Amino acid sequence: MAVIPMWQCDRDGSMFADKKAAEEHDRMLELAECLTGFLQNHLTLEDDAAEGIGLLLARNKELLAKALKGKPDVLLESQPEAEEA
């Protein structure tokens, strides 16, 4: 039988067959952690609320970037997916 190379993201243990996808996932989680840390540096927020917000923002990075570049209303067009409430 063959052995197949897999890539594990050590931030959350998720596995990927494709290295690029694993790296992208890792960058997204890093951004989420930094956003969470930023929020908690400036505001009083429960850990899970801050983590949920950091993850939500990091997952919607492209949308956020568009909003920051002068199209804030794109944020209101986006519909919830299966988000942790």
Name which of 12 and 38 has its Cβ closer to a copy of itself.
38
2-31 residues near a copy of itself, rule: CB under 8 A: 27, 30-31
Q: Interface with a copy of itself by CB under 8 A: which range of 4-12, 14-22, 37-45?
A: 37-45
Q: State the Cα torsion 59-48-38-57 to the nearest 10°.
A: 20
| Residue 38 in contact with a copy of itself, rule: CB under 8 A | yes
Residue 72 C-beta: closest distance to a copy of itself, Å: 4
Residue 78 C-beta: closest distance to a copy of itself, Å: 7
Measured at the alpha carbon of residue 40, what is the angle toward residues 62 and 36, in degrees to the nearest 5?
A: 30
Cα 28 to Cα 36: distance, rounded to the nearest angstrom: 12
